[in-house]
Amino acid sequence: AIFADPDDRAALMAWADHLADKGDPRGEFAQVQLALEDARLSARARQELAARELELLAAHEREWLGDLAPFLLDGAVHR
């Protein structure tokens, strides 16, 4: 469903919930990012979500990027 319609928030939330239920931190990361899209959020809630987003990214970005991590995070260049 996500490939068919990448803007389908219900499908994205279902995917995020599924990952989170399985203990995959990408699920919480997606949940946080989707929540941040809500224009009705208070400034405090937005700040808390943004802080959690950064925490998750800092904890998992190398794993999520895999072999790309040295190039995207460390500026490694191999010829």
pLDDT-derived band at 78, boundaries 50, 70, 90: low
pLDDT tens track for 21-34: 999 999 999 999 99
Mean of the per-residue pLDDT values for the chain? 94
Half-sphere exposure in the Cβ direction for 25 (13 Å, CA): 13
pLDDT tens track for 4-25: 999 999 999 999 999 999 999 9
Percentage of residues of the chain with pLDDT beyond 90: 89
**Residue 56 contacts by C-beta under 8 Å, 6 or more apart in sequence?**
25, 28, 29, 32
Residue 79's pLDDT is what? 57
